[in-house]
Amino acid sequence: MQATQTTEKPLTQVKSQKDLHKEVDASGAWSVAQIEALFALPFSELMFKAQETHHANFPDGDVELATLLSIKTGGCPEDCSYCPQAARYDTDVKANKLLDLDEVLEAAKAAKAAGSNRFCMGAAWREPKDRDIEKVAAMIKGVKALGLETCATLGMLEANQAQALQEAGLDFYNHNLDTSEDFYRSVISTRGYQDRLDTISNVRAVGMSVCCGGIVGMGESREQRAAFLARLANLSPYPESVPINHLVPVAGTPLENQKPLDPLEFVRTIAVARITMPRARVRLSAGRQELGRAVQAMCFQAGANSIFYGEQLLTTGNPEAEQDRELLAELGLKTKQSCKAEVLV
């Protein structure tokens, strides 16, 4: 699925946020220059615009709680530079087989009891085999029976596999773009950018909702972050869920010594995602623990309204559930109650 292309305009031609919205409404797409202009706004003005957008589209102001379980860990043949699950890197992650159905359902029950309303299942595959799809389909049906929304991230999908997952009742499929197309080869060589777009297209074709975001802080420039968000925002429709990960450098991976992204730049990224994808659930994902409470609070003010919730996020740590509940309570934020997934139009 290709993003709509527009002619970029110099930043000096963008006079105000109101002008930005007029141009977007007329063209139907965000240009990279327009998104760079958002990034360049004074911090208080950007936050105000993001809050306006957030309140207009999510008047209840609730936060979605999602739990992510690794149903098959490690041994991945890909070379994603950030990922400790890649078999070629010497990390502490050990390869494990696919979990049994009963193990997955027990984890889903615990997640529901802790307050989650979406249960995400992740497997470290380049792409699943059809026999894998059959096993995951049974997990989806079991988790759905508990009254939870379901999400899966299994790698690249063929059209028939997407159809099988949809028939099993899968609500969301996660497949991240990771970064901008021009920075992508600096991070990954074993899977092309178009492969990712094709999987998203296959998911959309069978009527499933899309969860798609990426990772910031991998050494990309602000312009490349803007290009990444432009690609997401110009998908038709843009993703219902947009996870924004803050890189967690892991020893043994090529990015183990990557300099951390400035926390305020991460907050700006959340705000720009909110403005450009106003009805999406913008999710704070990996790296929340490293950001700390104050930066997380600013991210919620910038329009983040979903978090991965629980003690473990695939292979990296995540703030414990009790700490999350305390922070949300202190900020006066309530949690999402409805489990209905809606397709953006």
Q: Report pLDDT digits (tens) over 9-40.
A: 333 333 344 444 434 444 579 999 999 999 99
Q: In Å, what is the CA distance from 84 to each residue of 90, 251, 264?
A: 8, 8, 26
Q: What is the pLDDT of residue 311?
A: 53
Name the helix (H) or strand (E) containing 242.
strand 241-246
What tokens appear for 169 in the block? 């009742």
Place of tokens 């990279």: 32
What is the Cα–Cα distance from 290 to 282, expressed in whole angstroms?
18
Say if 184 falls within a structural domain.
Answer: yes
User: DSSP state, 12?
Assistant: G
Say if 45 falls within a structural domain.
Answer: no
Q: What is the pLDDT of residue 91?
A: 87
- Which amino acid, residue 90? D
Which of 227, 212, 217, 205 shows the shortest CA–CA distance to 172?
212
Please, what is the Cα angle at 83 between 325 and 274, to 5 degrees? 50
Active-site positions read 76, 80, 83, 120, 151, 211, 283
For residue 165, the enclosing domain spans: 55-331
What is the Cα–Cα distance from 259 to 253, expressed in whole angstroms?
14
Say if 34 falls within a structural domain.
Answer: no
Which stretches of the chain drop beneath a pLDDT of 50?
Answer: 1-26, 312-318, 338-345
The SS3 of residue 251 is coil
Say if 312 falls within a structural domain.
Answer: yes
The SS3 of residue 122 is strand
Q: What is the pLDDT of residue 228?
A: 98
CB 72, CB 155: distance < 8 Å: no
What is the Cα–Cα distance from 83 to 153, expressed in whole angstroms?
15
Q: What is the pLDDT of residue 341?
A: 40
Number of structural domains in the chain: 1
Say if 79 falls within a structural domain.
Answer: yes
Q: What is the pLDDT of residue 42?
A: 98
CATH number at 94 reads 3.20.20.70
The SS3 of residue 216 is strand
Say if 10 falls within a structural domain.
Answer: no
Q: What is the pLDDT of residue 82?
A: 93
Q: Express each pLDDT in 104-150 by its tens digit.
A: 999 999 999 888 999 999 999 999 999 999 999 999 999 999 999 99
Q: What is the pLDDT of residue 90?
A: 85
Say if 18 falls within a structural domain.
Answer: no
Say if 15 falls within a structural domain.
Answer: no
Distance from CA of residue 229 to its chain's centroid? 12
Q: What is the pLDDT of residue 94?
A: 82
Q: What is the pLDDT of residue 14?
A: 36
Entry pTM: 0.87
Q: What is the pLDDT of residue 312?
A: 47
